[in-house]
Structure 1
Amino acid sequence: MQRVMVCLSGVLVALALVLQSQNALAADAKIAVIDMKEVLSTSTAGKKAQDIIERKMTSLQTSFKSDETSLINLQKEMEKKGSAWSDSVKREKAAEFQQKRRSLAEKQENANKELKKLRELHVNPILKKLEDIVSEVASDGGYDVVLPRNMVLYSTTSIDITDKVVAQLNKVMK
């Protein structure tokens, strides 16, 4: 029994030493945070990409407006006049409504694909450049770890490198 207690004590002491050394290492780490949304919304390149995407989105929404209005009007007509129509007219109108609804859904799906491609075309190069810039700013500042702000519960403004990254990104991507 005494041997078991001695072994258990030894294991506990070793565990305490390991935990203490890990805490000492963690205390030496210099951490920074970055707000990626802010970088993309305030940098020149990010604003430019956002503007292109928003203009396309507005254009697509405008093109859907007439299709949506036509669909709503057809639905209202079916509700108002449906009881007076013959079965064949009801079937025709129902088929027309289903066709218009499928067509609109297909257009919206294609628009979403187009917007996704546009984001990839304009935002992905910025994100790739940001990786290098964040590494450079972190290295210059002596930071060991850079975390996204939305993953951190609390941080002081002194460790936020967002403004430095935006300034560097603006310099690099004129």
Structure 2
Amino acid sequence: MSEEKIVRVTTRNWLMVGLCFGLFASAAATAEVKLAFVDVDRAVASSESAQKLLQQLQDEFASDQETIEKIQTEATALLQKMQKDSDVMSEDEKRRVQQEIESLNNDFVYQRQKLQKEVAARQQELFAGTDVKVRNAIEELVRDNDYDMILPRATALYVGDLYDITRKVTEKLNEMDRAE
């Protein structure tokens, strides 16, 4: 890049920054905008009802999780045996142990995928209707606090605590659940 192009690009960038700053300054001078940000996923996950539902899911799928862990433990033990005793094992025994490890690995993958699908389906069932509750909680906060705009937390690189209302949304969700 030539020096002239660099100067033009830099000048153009500064002009854009100045223009944006001027627009924000003039908007702030005419009317103050009350803005807030919310991490909806965190607000829902932190709510008391979500915690209860997650505990319910853990209890519901505990035996499946234990089965997966048992398979993993068996495969690990066989693999360690194979590594430790491979010098004294016959070729047939090595092949048999290797096949058993592969079988356990296939079973592990199948069981884990099955559990993940079941958990995802169950989560979807349990959390159905949550979006309506969140919308209602946010609408109440807008009315109570005169917010002009509430944006998803992910839209900003940084949000100070003053503008992050995630905790308030969680509290409102808890309040709404207790009222039901």
With normalisation by structure 2, the TM-score equals 0.68
2:127 corresponds to 1:90: no
* Farther off after superposition, 104-113 or 137-146: 137-146
* Farther off after superposition, 34-43 or 75-84: 34-43
2:113 corresponds to 1:119: no
Aligned length: 159
2:156 corresponds to 1:154: no
Which is higher, the Rg of structure 1 or of structure 2? 1
C-alpha RMSD over aligned residues: 3.1
With normalisation by structure 1, the TM-score equals 0.70
Q: Deviation string for 1:71-106 (max 9, x for gaps)?
A: 112112222333333323322221121111111011
Counterpart secondary structure, 1:84: coil
Which of 62, 67, 72 is the equivalent residue of 1:68? 72
- Kept in 1, the 8 Å contact 2:37–2:159? The answer is no
Query: How far apart are the structure 1 equivalents of 2:167 and 2:100?
Result: 55
Q: Deviation string for 1:19-67 (max 9, x for gaps)?
A: 8556534664321123435523442322222222333464433222221
* Farther off after superposition, 59-68 or 49-58: 49-58
- Kept in 2, the 8 Å contact 1:40–1:47? The answer is no
Shift of 1:130: 0.5
- Kept in 2, the 8 Å contact 1:33–1:161? The answer is yes
Alignment match, 1:48: 52
Query: How far apart are the structure 1 equivalents of 2:76 and 2:119?
Result: 25
* Farther off after superposition, 91-100 or 42-51: 42-51
Counterpart secondary structure, 2:151: strand
2:143 corresponds to 1:104: no
With over 3 angstroms needed to count, the CA separation of the structure-2 counterparts of 1:20 and 1:84, relative to structure 1, is closer
- Stretches of structure 1 lacking an aligned partner (at least 5 in a row): 1-11
- Stretches of structure 2 lacking an aligned partner (at least 5 in a row): 1-14
Alignment match, 1:39: 43
Q: Would you tell me which structure has more helix in proportion to its own residues? A: 1
